[in-house]
Amino acid sequence: MAEATASPNDLPDGLAACLAAGPSTLVLTGAGVSAESGIPTFREAQTGLWARFSPADLATPEAFADNPQRVWDWYRWRRGLIRDGGPNAAHRAVADLQAALADCRVVTQNVDGLHQAAGAAGVAELHGNLWRERCAGDCGFQREADAVGDGPPPECPDCGALLRPDVVWFGETLPMAALEAAERALAAADLVLVAGTSNLVYPAAAIPEQALAAGLDVVEINPDTTPLSTRAAHRLAGPASAWLPAIAAAARAA
Ligand code: BV8
Ligand code: ZN
């Protein structure tokens, strides 16, 4: 059920004043901003065939080595949800915020590509993107997928090894380019919006901590509490699709 959108008047005074000044802003997002596109978050139980699997068990190199077909079918299932759900008001609001502010950079933990689909630019994907595929061997082949895919796991056309989703699994290092983009965004930021993440997975979860340590205004947007909640300057309890449009509207009005 679509939630009512908050209005800019519902924003805490301190945040409204900060937005009026046109702050350099870092937006860090997690699975919660895609929840209203019908894509289960990592905390929620999955549905259907996948109900008996935990994402944390499937998003690992070990799971892929053990059963590449199962892991590919899980990513194809998610591709289907993303294609069917598409971007929601939260993704569109982040793109609007980028248009309203001179400097607004998006760093996401999500691998669904929905920020880009909603018009956001320069999105730093800390954990990759499930629409990209790369060689699980070491030949360096990669390609953009143009379909959900089906059948056996795809093979690398260059070397014959299996292809894998170009995402970061647990125990794998994050792409340096995305990490460096996040560091640059943090160094430039006056305001950090943290939306739709449980703040449990590192090193992504270190970003809000570094922001707090740097004395930046950190705003959490989440219906539930997280380890960040008591330390954020402002906590907007509720869905991203309610609060992010209000923040974008306040920035536009500035
Ligand atoms: C690394 C991509 C090390 C894949 C993801 C033991 C062994 C190995 C590693 C570790 C270990 N112990 C700890 C670690 C480190 C580990 C880690 O942090 N584990 C946690 C669980 C403790 N991290 C790693 O493994 C990382 N790599 O450390 O490498 C290393 C170092 C040197 C050399 C070699 C290796 C890699 C982590 C990345 C894993 N990949 N995703 C895929 O998607 O398939 S993680 C995945 O889960 C997400 O990307 C996200 O980052 C993470 C958590 O998900 P969230 O986005 O936060 O979503 P979640 O479901 O958790 O929460 C949703 C939130 O939204 C909730 O708070 C909910 O209330 C809220 N919400 C719901 N609805 C809404 C909403 N909010 C707003 N609006 C709504 N409508
Ligand atoms: Zn290859």
Per-residue pLDDT of the chain (254 residues; tens, 9 = 90+): 445 789 989 999 999 999 999 999 999 999 999 999 999 998 787 777 788 888 889 999 999 999 999 999 999 999 999 999 999 999 999 999 999 999 999 999 999 999 999 999 999 999 999 999 999 998 999 999 989 999 999 999 999 999 999 999 999 999 999 999 999 999 999 999 999 999 999 999 999 999 999 999 999 999 999 999 999 999 999 999 999 999 999 999 98
Would you state the CATH architecture of domain 8-37+87-127+173-253? 3-Layer(aba) Sandwich (3.40)
CATH 3.40.50.1220 residue ranges for the chain: 8-37+87-127+173-253
- Tally Cβ neighbours within 10 Å of residue 233: 18
pTM: 0.96
Specify the CATH architecture of the domain 48-84+136-167.
2-Layer Sandwich (3.30)
Q: Is the CB of 111 under 6 A from ligand 1?
A: yes
- 14, 216 Cβ separation under 8 angstroms: no
127 catalytic per annotation = yes
Provide the angle, in degrees to the nearest 10, between the axes of the packed helices 13-20 and 240-253: 50
Cβ contacts of 74 within 8 Å, gap of 6 or more = 50, 53, 58
Ligand 2 ion local residues (Cβ < 5 A): 135, 137, 139, 141, 156, 158-159, 161
Q: What is the pLDDT of residue 138?
A: 87
| Eight-state DSSP code of residue 52 | G
Residue from 197, 235, 244 to probe ligand 1 pocket by mutation (most atoms less than 8 Å from CB): 197
Q: Are 32 and 44 in contact (CB under 8 A)?
A: no
Determine the distance from the C-alpha atom of residue 19 to the mean position of all C-alpha atoms in its chain, rounded to a whole number.
Answer: 22
Length of the chain: 254
Residues 150 and 174 sit within 8 Å (Cβ to Cβ): no
